[in-house]
Amino acid sequence: MDSGGQLKVAGFGLLRLSNISYDKAKLSNPGAHVDPSNIYMAPEVYKNLIVDRSVDSYSFGVMLYEMIGGVTPFHHMPAEEAVKLMCLEGKRPPFKTKSKSYPPDLRELIEECWDPNPVVRPIFSEIIVRLDKVFANYSKYGKWKDTFKLPWYASTSSFNLVP
């Protein structure tokens, strides 16, 4: 998070773009050090496989879960064990927050973002559109009106989002 409170998401130099065409771009990470306690790490990164941009969607899903519940996944156990559960066994933590306090569409988005299968994970242009819809639907009823503001909400119509 920067000094202005803006959340930044980055790969922290762990990944590099390979020489595959843009539409089939893959990110590779041969021999890189993997932090076994990084709860935001996608299973394919943990397993040191060739990965694509869907690893960012996975991390984003974990962050959304944390934002809704106020805790990291499997917070009651050491981070290394939680990462093994998520990356090797495909387990996901339960949603403990009452479903009335957040939209079911948001839970569905989180579940798709952190799906063990990278093909299922939405790309960020889709994530933005879906978050916009969640916000628009819930702000109509006064829910989240002043507590959940997406920084891009007022201007998404000016974006040319391409899947």
pLDDT for 49 equals 86
pTM of the model: 0.73
Domains of the chain: 1-122 (1.10.510.10), 123-163 (no CATH)
pLDDT for 160 equals 44
User: Tens-of-pLDDT digits for all 163 residues of the chain?
Assistant: 456 655 555 554 444 444 444 444 555 555 566 788 899 999 999 998 888 889 999 999 999 999 888 889 999 999 999 999 999 999 999 887 666 667 888 999 999 999 999 999 999 999 999 998 888 887 776 655 555 544 444 444 444 444 4
Contact 129, 101 (CB under 8 A): no
pLDDT for 23 equals 47
Which is it for the CA torsion 81, 82, 86, 90, positive or negative?
A: positive
pLDDT for 152 equals 44
Q: What is the 8-class DSSP label of residue 51?
A: B
Which is it for the CA torsion 122, 57, 52, 46, positive or negative?
A: negative
d(CA 72, CA 65): 7
